[in-house]
């Protein structure tokens, strides 16, 4: 059940990319040394643009081809970056590819898989009317718990009950979009468990509860969107021709033992930092990539939680929950391509004023700049590494040469507004597109499987992000970052 045909294909695809990378560098000696981002041309970002355009356009112009071959398309763009990158930069390029897969992609997918699997074993049953008030309550619950069970966990717990409550409604597209806004993104603002960027900041030395400083902007943003949703949902509710099916079935939650596994996931994530200290930051080397042993143990614990959930949850319960592997498989395929193709883009950004995107990084000076530039890039790059790029930019600007933990402590004490702007930009604006945050993609897939007509990549941005999110971000800017 865990490793169906598509997951095996994904594993084989990654294997061949890595094996091909090794062979491509076998005939060459060393690479070009440090500062690879300073040498890279913006042309190396073409495969990244290619995979984004594929995600945006192919579901519209060739939906059948996309549905059956999205994994091959993602692999094509990944290989089209890997081969020239490896030929030109040999071992340095190989290191960057290995590093992003081993240190970022694999832990990223393991965490998503664990939360998706465990949350999929919890079933909410009972009659919910799908009225504006009920829908707002469900969105509010999801927003409040997302910081503690992760945006992925909250989304997987509530998306199906939310859809079942509104199954009788004709216009449901905007409901799923606002679910993505609030539960899959904005709700994950308050702890490092909520969203990957904040977790990376925690690993770099940001105190666990510092992220509670995001509470005020989160509440303002969530309040704006909840009011807008309530008005929009009320308008469409009054236009509905049908009515909620009559049912007196009591609300019930099955599979509650899975909460123990969610607790295990939370404990593994929080405990990995303390475990790393206890192990004196011991590492294991995979080729040239250093992986903290504590992180490896954390990932093993996450896999164990997922496996235990599968073993102890009745199959019929998952069937009632309409659980399937397709959403997580789609995310795994597409982000395998996205992660490798974005390597040159991230390296160029990390080069700062010495890279070909110096025009952008040099312009980032004030908190408002950090909020918008971090946010816009987080909409199309993975928001976790984008967060790190601009966190490092701020540290370099204000505390150059200072050790990261000390620099972060100084940043919080003297220029906290900059860290607040980076954090809000990365978390909030992950909602701007389907690829801004992985749960966005999973919820879209689940909704489409459930018969909801979801907007295209550009349709989502033009009809919803630009209309509802961007004006809300302008309000946040004037209140907190001007």
Q: Which residue has the higher pLDDT, 445 or 402?
A: 445
Using DSSP's 3-state secondary structure scheme, residue 122 falls into coil
- Judged against a pLDDT cut of 90, whether residue 137 lies above it is answered with yes
How do beta strands 123-125 and 289-292 pair?
unpaired
Tell me what percent of the residues of the chain surpass a pLDDT of 90: 39
Half-sphere exposure of 224 (CA within 13 A, CB side): 17
| pLDDT one-digit tens code per residue, 161-185 | 899 889 888 889 999 999 999 999 9
The predicted model gives 440-451 an average pLDDT of 88
Which band of pLDDT confidence, cut at 50, 70 and 90, is reported for residue 186?
very high
* Bridge partner residues of 284 (DSSP): 291
| pLDDT one-digit tens code per residue, 190-235 | 988 888 889 878 877 788 889 999 999 999 999 999 999 999 999 9
Q: Which DSSP string do the residues of 296-344 spell out, in sequence order?
A: HHHHHHHHHHHHHHHHHS-HHHHHHTT--SHHHHHHHHHHHHHHHHTHH
**What CA–CA distances, in Å, run from 388 to 107, 112, 150, 378, 381?**
16, 20, 19, 11, 12
* pLDDT value for 77: 94
Which band of pLDDT confidence, cut at 50, 70 and 90, is reported for residue 6?
low
| pLDDT one-digit tens code per residue, 379-425 | 887 677 788 778 877 877 787 667 767 888 999 999 999 999 999 99
Using a 10 angstrom Cβ sphere, with 0-12 exposed, 13-18 middle and 19 or more buried, the burial of residue 129 is: middle
Domain range annotation of the chain: 42-481
The CA-based angle 366-370-372, given to 5 degrees, is 115
* pLDDT value for 2: 44
Can you give the pTM of this predicted structure?
A: 0.79
CA distance 39 to 35: 7
- Judged against a pLDDT cut of 70, whether residue 114 lies above it is answered with yes
| pLDDT one-digit tens code per residue, 322-373 | 788 888 888 888 888 988 998 898 888 777 778 888 887 778 889 999 999 9
Strands (E), 24-157: 123-125
Q: Between the CA atoms of 46, 49, 54 and 57, what dihedral angle is there, to the nearest 10 degrees?
A: -130
Q: Which residue has the higher pLDDT, 8 or 119?
A: 119
Which band of pLDDT confidence, cut at 50, 70 and 90, is reported for residue 31?
very low
């Amino acid at each position: 059940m865990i490793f169906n045909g598509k997951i095996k294909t994904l594993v084989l695809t990654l294997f061949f990319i890595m094996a091909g990378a090794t062979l491509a560098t076998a005939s060459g000696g060393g690479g070009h040394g440090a500062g690879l981002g300073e040498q890279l041309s913006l042309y190396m970002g073409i495969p990244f643009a290619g995979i984004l355009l594929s995600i945006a356009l192919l579901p519209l112009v060739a939906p059948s081809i996309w549905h059956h071959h999205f994994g091959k398309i993602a692999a094509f763009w990944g290989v089209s970056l890997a081969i020239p990158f490896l030929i030109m930069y040999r071992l340095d390029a190989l290191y960057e590819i290995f590093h992003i897969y081993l240190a970022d992609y694999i832990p990223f997918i393991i965490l998503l898989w664990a939360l998706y699997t465990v949350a999929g074993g919890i079933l909410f049953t009972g009659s919910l009317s799908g009225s504006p008030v009920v829908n707002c309550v469900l969105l509010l619950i999801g927003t409040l718990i997302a910081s503690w069970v992760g945006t992925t966990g909250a989304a997987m717990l509530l998306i199906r009950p939310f859809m079942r409550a509104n199954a009788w409604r004709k216009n449901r597209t905007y409901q799923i979009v606002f679910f993505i806004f609030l539960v899959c993104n904005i709700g994950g603002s308050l702890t490092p468990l909520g969203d990957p960027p904040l977790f990376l900041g925690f690993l770099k030395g940001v105190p666990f509860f510092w992220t509670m400083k995001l509470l005020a902007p989160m509440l303002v943003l969530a309040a704006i969107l909840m009011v807008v949703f309530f008005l929009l949902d009320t308008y469409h509710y009054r236009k509905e021709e049908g009515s909620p099916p009559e049912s007196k079935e009591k609300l019930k939650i099955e599979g509650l033992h899975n909460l123990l596994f969610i607790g295990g996931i939370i404990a593994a994530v929080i405990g990995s930092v303390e475990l790393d200290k206890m192990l004196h930051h011991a590492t294991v080397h995979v080729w040239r990539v250093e992986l903290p042993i504590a992180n490896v143990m954390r990932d093993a614990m996450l896999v164990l939680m997922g496996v235990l959930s599968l073993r102890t949850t009745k199959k019929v319960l998952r069937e009632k929950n309409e659980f399937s592997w397709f959403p997580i498989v789609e995310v795994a395929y597409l982000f395998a391509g996205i992660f490798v193709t974005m390597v040159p883009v991230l390296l160029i950004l990390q080069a700062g004023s010495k890279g070909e995107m110096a025009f952008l990084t040099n312009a980032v000076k004030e908190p408002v700049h950090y909020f918008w530039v971090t946010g816009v890039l987080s909409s199309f790059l993975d928001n976790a590494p984008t967060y790190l790029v601009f966190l490092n930019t701020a540290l370099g600007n204000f505390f150059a040469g200072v050790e990261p933990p000390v620099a972060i402590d100084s940043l919080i004490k003297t220029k906290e507004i900059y860290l607040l702007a980076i954090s809000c930009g990365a978390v909030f604006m992950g909602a701007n597109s389907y690829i801004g945050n992985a749960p966005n993609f999973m919820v879209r897939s689940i909704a489409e499987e459930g018969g909801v007509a979801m907007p295209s990549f550009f349709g989502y941005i033009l009809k919803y992000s630009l209309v509802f999110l961007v004006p809300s971000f302008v309000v946040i800017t004037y209140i907190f970052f001007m």
